[in-house]
């Protein structure tokens, strides 16, 4: 089967959609399918490369430099059709090229955020040439976006035209289903490579191992995120500050933030304002291969993101055995079972209180940690590939 994965954003620009497309492309190619990634992202990353923690870097396979057309791992063709000027993925001049390219594939799989002009135009082009279309929503559609999409009627028209609609989580699927007039919306979650994202033996150096072996050391709290406004990194610092104020005397915690972005200065100011420069460390972006070891030597993973459609960093931490704390109503609820693999809270204040409780309660942390280390996640690359193939079959039957 020849599959076109169409995404406004792709490597070397870094983020959840980019990593998801990269993983799916490689998995499909490994199964013998012919895969082409069509994107509006320039080979230099279109301005945001280097901001994500734990995503493939610009020197890795799939992030070729200096070419419009190139190969990814020798198996996946990457076609870049960036805008002639500026960085926004809006390129009306590419419509003819996209239509000609998509006419030569068996199925088009569009990867959509709340606003994805390039991918939306590709869906329109694919329908025009009669190619089956699958469309996956990677973002939570909030009230304002839902109103705009409802007025446009786009999602409902796609459903009537036979587009196989899906979303990366149950939370993301609900508003898509409403916009589609009740049409079925499948789940096509992001996934982890369990060969990489798994518990590893703790660092044997003094003070670096698991808390069970060193109960006197500070509890180690980590997060990995882009330091961007919608990821709420400043709110994360506020949550940590509230939690530390609630700790009993003698209990200590250290916090590490992995990731980079435009909000770094604001985060630094928040850390200083709360007097946490000796408790919160901004570690910047680290090589993807280092994160499993970092997670395996930590005690808790915390996500402060409210509009989180999935939460790939949280899933990666969960796969490495870490208890995960996050917000209710997000995609995390598909792999975080409260009290079993972590906790989900309804507000920042509740999240801070839960964080303080778990920092102070070694037994509760250890119970969750042991469960996560011994219970693999179901969101694997293999499962993602099988789900994608089912969507392609559904699209072919509906077209």
- Exposure string of 191-213, with b = 16+ CB inside 10 Å and e = fewer, is bbeeeebbbeebeeeeeebbbee
Q: What is the band of 326 on the pLDDT scale with cuts at 50, 70, 90?
A: very high
DSSP conformational letter for 101: H
Q: Look up the domain containing 223 and give its range.
A: 219-374
Does residue 274 sit within a domain?
yes
Does residue 356 sit within a domain?
yes
pTM, entire model: 0.89
Q: What is the band of 213 on the pLDDT scale with cuts at 50, 70, 90?
A: very low
Q: Do 144 and 181 sit in the same domain of this protein? A: yes
308-337 mean pLDDT: 97
Q: Which residues contact 349 (CB under 8 A, 6 or more apart)?
A: 242
CA-wise closest residue to 26 among 3, 57, 49, 58: 3
Statement: residue 69 has pLDDT above 90: no
Q: Do 180 and 270 sit in the same domain of this protein? A: no
Return d(Cα 353, Cα 304) in angstroms, integer: 13
CA-wise closest residue to 368 among 320, 316, 328: 320
State in Å, rounded, how far the first CA of the chain is from the last one. Answer: 16
Return the bridge partners of 69, or none. 79
Does residue 12 sit within a domain?
yes
pLDDT digits (tens, 9 = 90+) for 162-197: 999 999 999 999 999 999 999 999 999 999 999 999
Q: Do 387 and 367 sit in the same domain of this protein? A: no
Q: Do 286 and 159 sit in the same domain of this protein? A: no
Q: Do 320 and 384 sit in the same domain of this protein? A: no
Return d(Cα 388, Cα 264) in angstroms, integer: 36
Helix locations, 31-168, DSSP H: 95-102, 117-128, 143-152, 154-160
Q: Do 174 and 289 sit in the same domain of this protein? A: no
DSSP conformational letter for 248: P
Q: Do 134 and 267 sit in the same domain of this protein? A: no
Return d(Cα 86, Cα 92) in angstroms, integer: 13
**Are 199 and 233 within 8 A, CB to CB?**
no
Q: What is the pLDDT of residue 208?
A: 46
Q: Give the β-pairing of 300-302 and 342-345.
A: unpaired
Does residue 212 sit within a domain?
no
Statement: residue 214 has pLDDT above 70: no
Return the bridge partners of 38, or none. 6, 79
Higher pLDDT: 68 or 161? It is 161
**Are 293 and 203 within 8 A, CB to CB?**
yes
pLDDT digits (tens, 9 = 90+) for 11-54: 988 788 998 999 999 999 999 999 999 999 988 764 443 344 44
User: What value does the mean pLDDT of the chain take?
Assistant: 89
11, burial (CB in 10 Å: exposed 0-12, middle 13-18, buried 19+): buried
Does residue 330 sit within a domain?
yes
pLDDT digits (tens, 9 = 90+) for 106-115: 999 999 998 8
**Are 355 and 324 within 8 A, CB to CB?**
no
Q: Do 225 and 366 sit in the same domain of this protein? A: yes
Q: What is the pLDDT of residue 66?
A: 31
> What CATH number should be reported for the domain holding residue 336?
3.40.50.2000
Query: Considering the chain, what percentage of its residues have pLDDT values greater than 90?
Result: 80
Q: Do 167 and 271 sit in the same domain of this protein? A: no
Q: What is the pLDDT of residue 204?
A: 54
Q: What is the pLDDT of residue 88?
A: 75
Q: What is the pLDDT of residue 83?
A: 86
Q: Do 30 and 121 sit in the same domain of this protein? A: yes
Does residue 204 sit within a domain?
no
Does residue 163 sit within a domain?
yes
Statement: residue 209 has pLDDT above 50: no
pLDDT digits (tens, 9 = 90+) for 340-378: 999 999 999 999 999 999 999 999 999 999 999 999 999
- The mean-pLDDT minimum among 65-69, 264-268, 372-376 falls in 65-69
Q: Do 353 and 391 sit in the same domain of this protein? A: no
Q: Do 173 and 96 sit in the same domain of this protein? A: yes
Does residue 196 sit within a domain?
no
Return d(Cα 330, Cα 170) in angstroms, integer: 9
Q: What is the pLDDT of residue 16?
A: 84
How many structural domains are present in the chain?
Answer: 2
289-315 mean pLDDT: 96
């Amino acid at each position: 089967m020849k599959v076109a994965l169409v995404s406004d954003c792709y490597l070397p620009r870094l983020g959840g959609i980019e990593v998801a497309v990269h993983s799916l492309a490689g998995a499909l190619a490994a199964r013998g399918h012919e895969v082409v990634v069509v994107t509006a992202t320039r080979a230099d990353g279109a301005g945001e490369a280097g901001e994500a923690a734990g995503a493939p870097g610009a020197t890795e396979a799939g992030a070729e430099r200096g070419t419009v057309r190139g190969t990814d791992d020798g198996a996946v063709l990457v076609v870049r059709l960036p805008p002639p000027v500026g960085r926004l993925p809006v390129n009306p001049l590419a419509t003819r090229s996209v239509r000609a390219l998509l006419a030569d594939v068996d199925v088009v799989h569009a990867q959509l955020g709340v606003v994805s002009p390039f991918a939306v135009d590709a869906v329109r082009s694919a329908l025009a040439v009669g190619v089956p279309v699958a469309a996956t929503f990677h973002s939570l559609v909030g009230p304002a976006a839902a109103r705009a999409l409802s007025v446009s009627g786009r999602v409902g028209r796609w459903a009537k035209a036979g587009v196989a609609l899906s979303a990366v989580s149950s939370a993301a699927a609900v508003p898509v289903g409403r916009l589609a007039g009740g049409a079925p919306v499948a789940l096509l979650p992001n996934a982890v490579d369990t060969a990489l994202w798994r518990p590893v033996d703790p660092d044997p150096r003094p003070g670096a191992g698991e808390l069970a072996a060193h109960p006197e050391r500070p509890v180690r709290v980590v997060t990995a995120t882009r330091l961007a406004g919608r990821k709420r990194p400043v709110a994360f610092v506020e949550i940590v500050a509230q939690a530390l104020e609630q700790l009993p005397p003698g209990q200590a915690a250290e916090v590490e933030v992995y990731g980079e972005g435009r909000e770094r200065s604001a985060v630094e100011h928040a850390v200083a304002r709360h007097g946490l420069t000796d408790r919160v460390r901004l570690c910047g972006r680290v090589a993807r291969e280092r994160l499993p070891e970092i997670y395996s030597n930590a005690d808790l993973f915390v996500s402060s993101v409210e509009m989180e459609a999935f939460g790939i960093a949280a899933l990666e931490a969960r796969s490495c055995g870490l208890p995960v704390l996050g917000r209710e109503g997000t995609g995390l609820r598909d792999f975080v079972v409260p009290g079993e693999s972590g906790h989900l809270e309804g507000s920042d204040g509740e999240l801070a209180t839960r964080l303080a409780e778990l920092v102070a309660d070694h037994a509760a942390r250890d119970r969750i940690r042991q469960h996560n280390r011994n219970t693999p996640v179901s969101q694997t690359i293999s499962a993602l590939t099988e789900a994608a193939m089912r969507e392609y079959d559904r699209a072919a039957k509906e077209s």
